[in-house]
A and B are shown apart, each in its own frame.
Chain A
Amino acid sequence: MTQPRVVAVIPVMGHPVLLDDAIASAAALLDEGTLAGIVAVDDGCRFDETRAALAAWAALLGPDRMAVLHQPNRGLSAARNAGIAAAMAGAPDAIFLLDADNRLARGAGRAFAALLEAHPEADWFYPAFDFFGQDAHYATDQVPSPLMHMLVNHSEAGSLIRARVFAGGVRFDETLREGYEDWDFFLSAQRVGFSGRPAGRPLLEYRKRPSSMLAGSHDLDAQLRRQIARKHRWLFSAQSALTREHEAFPRFAFVGLGEVALGTDPSQLREIGADAFEAMVLRHAAAPLRHHAPAMTVLGATGLTDRLREAGLLHGLLWAVERRLLAAPELAAVAVRCEGAGEQVGLGQAEGWDGGGTADLLVLPLATLIAAARGGDGALREALNAGDPSGDATLRALAAEGGAERLTLTLPGGGGGEDDARPGAGALLSALARSRFRSALDTAWDWRAPGGAWPRTRAHDAPRLTASGGPVLPLLRGAGGGLDIAFTVSIFDQGGVEKVARAVAREFAVEGHRCHLVVTGGRPARLEHGARPPEFATISFLSDPSAADWAGAEYLGTAETSWGNPEERAALEGLLRPMDVVVNAHSPATHKVAGALRRGGTLMVDHQHVLEVSDYGRAYGPPILTLAYEHAYDAVATCSQGMADWLAAHGVPAEKLIPVVNAPGYPMTGAEVADALALRRDPGAGAPLSVLYLGRLDEQKGIDRVAAIFSRLSEAGRGMALTLAGRAVVNADRPIGPLSPETRLPGPLSTPAALTAAFTAADILVLPSRYEGLPLVVLEAQRLGCVPVVTDVGAVAEAVRGGETGILVPEEGCVDSMVAAILRLDSDRGALAALSRDAAARARDWTVATSGLRAWIAEKAHNRR
């Protein structure tokens, strides 16, 4: 074996006598021929003795074996860099960085040659931590991983580093003068493709004193870690961390019949056998510093996990479970019970669970599996020993011991069967308790103390670093290369805001992006037929009731929610962190994490729809909160030009405003529109007019005015067909007022087919709102030739050009104006027909409406990637 040329670089500051120990240890290797040279760098040490010592050593060892550099004090990193530069001039094979208060181990020189020869692919070799002074031996990562390297630095500066790393331009950051400069160095090396491995044999004796630079840097730990994270965004990003976690440290194990599927993203799992999973769990339990096991094991009733995955609910559900386990790490199990409630989908709050009753889904933290492998205590031990085919005794014992919780998932059709996940859990835990590897738990497999290594399960903390410690949605980037775009809404109940969100999401989905729905108001979503809207790949719920309570502090007279303590904010930040873009459609909770998300690289868009008006005429509502949080957003999209003008006038920079002017709220193809228009009866045929109100039955919409208008039209005796479709959502307790007896009340119409039929059958849509944004119902009616007669409020005038595509009346005296207009149109069917034709001809579409927003996002996202 040819002896490699290894040079020791020793920066010196403040250790004139301990320096002798360091140099003597290196000199011993010089003498045995296993070290080629020493470069000592005096970093402006204030002790003359240091210079005397260096001069003495240099004289003893000679210029061929030792070089001494002096420089003004510039810090440890600068001193190392200076030494590296000097060492590299001699074309070494590798450099060993030795701090002046440490020593090389006696066999280090032979180890250098053996390591460099045996592992040509490794770029550096890091030692375990063997301390003297305060004697201790700490383990370090035996299988280095960039993910774990986010959490703890496994590579001491006292490592053997191949020259090619330095030739590649990697150096110590001279701005890091308070510590962790070695951590930064090795992360920088990995960034450009270098990798290290453990030396596996003594290289360095590390002097440990109660007070040292390292001890001092621990006090600054949080600050220094933030610095490291900011500098190394290539690693400290949610998608990077999730991808690495998924590949090497899968967060979940899905247990089926005989097979176990592992992964972080539940839509991208890989299978292993049940025996292999058992070995994996026991391996981790026996040696947690060396081996990983998934943090959470998921057992579900037959087919349920597939159903949830298909419904887009699985990612968000797992996130919610992880959030509970993070908040209460002592929990032994989290169960999910599925209940049907019509078309609703939602996730309730967690409640205590005694382990009894059916559980459609069970999530067991790793600690529960390990407790079973160790045999358990008391009732658990009895249950495990007895076999417990129903799982009842086992789950009850677990719940009694560590506590358990249950979440209720509202799902159309409920759990779908009579399966219970508990027998599977009981069988799994019993199998672990009987594992042939159990006795391995009695041996301590790591004689070194943990210190330089963390348990491999801490890998799951790494993605959380990108989200202020909150659980991160287990969502990997899609294969198609498009963006992941989240739409956050407070409620999802077929309202205008929700329809617009769907429409915008549809346009992004057509472009190849993946859209995700996040409901933050703590209430279930009402989905059409209870099915996942096809434009959303996933649906997640933030189940905190306070997220929509409007009981928080006020800004310019509009209350925020009381939601938003640090745990809550970290949780929502984690839910949204994997997204490239977040579009906030009136979710107040999202405002509170917008700044953090934006700082972390997420493109933040606030989408505003309507400024509310109180009974006393005061403006309030979501646009006011936009003014409060404008700085946290990259852009503000508006439903109308009018809204954009209002926001600009109140302080939002014009460059941030992107009007996304509303279009009809549900999609129709050109052929479908043509077919529907063909069905429309000719107004000139003389049949009595059909007048339609369609919308919420509340004061904002002027439902009392609708009642008055219908009464007057009925009294006019022209036999008009009057239809009032809708239901009260807001102000449900206020009476509508007396309606004429011939008024048809078909109830709420929500499906596209029902809406199309209603618009096609109606000649006129009446909408006497007190305030509006840009109402979708007007645009939907116009598309199908139904002529809107509407109050000129909000941005309605952007949709209705009076006398051309509809009739606009002032809000004051609107009942009289609307009645007069309708009677006029009844008398002049030609005018009605012309309005109908022009309204249909000038219908809007979302592709045009969203073009500005899509182009902006494309440009910003391209620049950031």
Chain B
Amino acid sequence: MLRSRGESHDKTPPKAVTPPLRVLAADGIDLAAAAAALPGLEVVPAAQAGGDGRARLCLVAPGADADAQAALEAAGLGHLPRVVWNGDPAALVAGMGARLEAALADAGAARRSAALLRREQEALNRRFKALEGLAWALGGPQASLALDWPPGPATATVPEGSATLRQALPVDVSGLAAVDLLLPELTPEEAGEVVVAIEDSEGHLHPLALAATSVERADGWLRFAAETPLPVDPQDGVLLAEGLPEGTIIGLGHPVPDPDFAAHGLEGGDGCTLALRVWKGITGTAGSMAPTAPAVAGLVHERLLPADLPRPALIARPRAARDHVATDFWAKENAVLVHPSTAGPVCARLARVPVAGVQRASAVVHAAHPRSGVLGFAMGFAAPGQATSDNWQQFLGPWTYLAPGSWGEVHAPPQPSAARMGRSCDLLLATCVAGEATNESAWALFRAFRLSRSAPE
């Protein structure tokens, strides 16, 4: 026991259960003398130690170090430090002091590791909590429209020179997934040259990539999406855009009385924001908000309108749904309605669409009511009868989220082999309500379809 015989001023004495430090004495060491010289330590013969894990060092007689080493190694204790013992305890002090300091440093390192692990665990806990919500929603991913500045009557143009467009965002950029900008007159080539990024308050730039499908949609809105929702701490951010050709017309939102939040770097503007939408996802989840349908050569496309297709029928609705869920063909709109529930995604099926060998499928979708919430759309296709109320999710492609009144596209996962589909296929049309909106006026419409198959050889 490390209890001195004299008066102790140790305010943090060792705990009562702490055993004394065990020291081995190799052959040639006077055991009794060593024990007397080292009160408080436990001195035992090395020869009897065996592989004693409690031994901390070994005293060796002068000139007998090599023998002692061999003996220790034979006993599996070759790792023990050896101290040449001449009867003076001072020989031990420096070494033990160094080992004490090292032990303290090791303890510090352990505490550091624990702290790091705690911090990571907290962040993981937060993400898991969010992902729990994702799981509860039966796999319907959660995304939300964090900011919606609809276009106003004014526009602005990009000035001469390499201007950087800046727009401060009054949202927390943590989890930012995509930004939609209104650039109605850009050609696809010009759109591809635009560089958009989010600069956070720490000065880091987070690039956003152009979603090709938004160009194809040709409604003027271009989506620039992050690879994953920004994994940063909650903080302010600024949207930056460069590479816009001189004279580009850019849609503006409403005038703002605070000049900090007006768009800068434009000609005109008149104290307005940009027209834009900011989307946020769950930090840490994979999945870009820029679903793409990679172009494949050699496909024949068949364009179909809902009136040409079988009537829809529900195959899946959330068990907990208490609100209105429905699917229908709206003849006046020539559209298929799949009315979602706030409790989770809803899926309708157009059974046995008479197109053979379908390998790809896309649909034009429309969140038709101006006062709905943000609506999510997805689609898939399967061999007739293959998709059921239990397995329909696995056939769906990525979800697309639309603000009220806006249009978009959804794409089903491609089917590599034409033979699998046979002479017809079932189309699966799924919708959900994003975020915490109600499903009131959730007119989720599928307006047109494109089914693609291999060209005949």
Contacts and interface: CB of A to CB of B under 8 A. Distances in A.
A444 B170 contact: yes
Interface of A: 20-21, 23-25, 27, 48, 51-53, 55-61, 103, 105-107, 110-111, 114, 130, 132, 135, 137, 200-202, 279-280, 282-283, 286-287, 290-291, 436-437, 439-440, 443-448
A209 to B, nearest CB: 14
A457 to B, nearest CB: 15
Interface string B186-200: 000000000000000
Contacts of B112: 20, 23-24, 27, 57, 60
B202 A445 contact: no
Contacts of B234: 130, 137, 202
Contact of B152 (A20, A111, A439, A446): A439
Interface stretch (B116-124, B381-389, B408-416): B116-124
Interface string B133-172: 0000000000000010100100000000000000000111
Given A286-B258, A440-B254, A24 B202 contact: no
Among B115, B149, B235, the most chain A Cβ lie within 10 Å of the Cβ of: B115
Contact of B104 (A55, A439, A447): A55
Interface of B: 11-12, 101-102, 104-105, 107-112, 114-116, 118-119, 122, 126, 147, 149, 152, 170-172, 201-203, 233-236, 253-258, 261
A458 to B, nearest CB: 19
B235 A446 contact: no
A53 B12 CA distance: 12
B108 A60 contact: yes
A105 B232 CA distance: 11
A440 B202 contact: no
Given A137-B172, A440-B254, A24 B115 contact: yes
A114 B202 CA distance: 9
A447 B102 CA distance: 48
Contacts of A286: 256-258
Contacts of B118: 20-21
**Interchain residue pairs A-B with the least CB separation, the first 9:** A60-B108, A24-B115, A59-B104, A56-B108, A439-B254, A56-B107, A201-B201, A283-B257, A59-B105
19 contacts: A20-B112, A20-B114, A48-B12, A53-B111, A56-B105, A57-B108, A57-B111, A57-B112, A59-B104, A59-B107, A110-B202, A132-B122, A200-B236, A202-B202, A286-B256, A437-B255, A443-B147, A444-B170, A448-B172
A114 B203 contact: yes
A445 B119 contact: no
A23 B115 contact: yes
Contacts of A114: 203
B104 A56 contact: yes
Contacts of A283: 257-258
Interface centre among B102, B109, B118, B233 (most CB of A within 10 A): B233
B34 to A, nearest CB: 29
Given A21-B115, A447-B172, 13 more contacts: A56-B107, A59-B101, A59-B107, A60-B109, A114-B203, A137-B172, A201-B236, A282-B257, A436-B255, A437-B257, A440-B254, A440-B255, A446-B170
Given A106-B233, A437-B256, A447-B171, A20 B104 contact: no
Given A48-B12, A60-B105, A290 B236 contact: no
Nearest to A62: B105
A445 B170 contact: yes
B261 A445 contact: yes
A180 to B, nearest CB: 27
Contacts of A279: 257
Given A21-B119, A137-B172, A440 B201 contact: no
Contacts of B201: 200-202
A520 B170 CA distance: 51
A207 to B, nearest CB: 10
Contacts of A280: 257
Contacts of A53: 111
A440 B107 contact: no
Contacts of B126: 135
Contacts of B257: 279-280, 282-283, 286, 437, 440
B57 to A, nearest CB: 20
A114 B147 CA distance: 29
Contacts of B115: 20-21, 23-25
A59 B258 contact: no
B430 to A, nearest CB: 31
Nearest to A202: B233
B119 A287 contact: no
A439 B147 CA distance: 14
A257 to B, nearest CB: 23
Contacts of B170: 443-447
**Most central of B107, B201, B234, B256 by chain A CB within 10 Å:** B256
A186 to B, nearest CB: 22
A137 B171 CA distance: 12
Contacts of B11: 48
A21 B114 CA distance: 8
Contacts of B233: 105-107, 130, 202
Given A111-B202, A201-B201, A445 B258 contact: yes
Contacts of B149: 443
A22 to B, nearest CB: 8
A23 to B, nearest CB: 7
A633 B108 CA distance: 65
Contact of A287 (B122, B172, B258): B258
Contacts of A443: 147, 149, 170
A88 to B, nearest CB: 25
A51 B235 contact: no
B107 to A, nearest CB: 4
A27 B108 CA distance: 11
| Residue of B110, B234, B253 with most chain A CB atoms under a 10 A cut-off | B234
A111 B201 CA distance: 9
A438 to B, nearest CB: 8
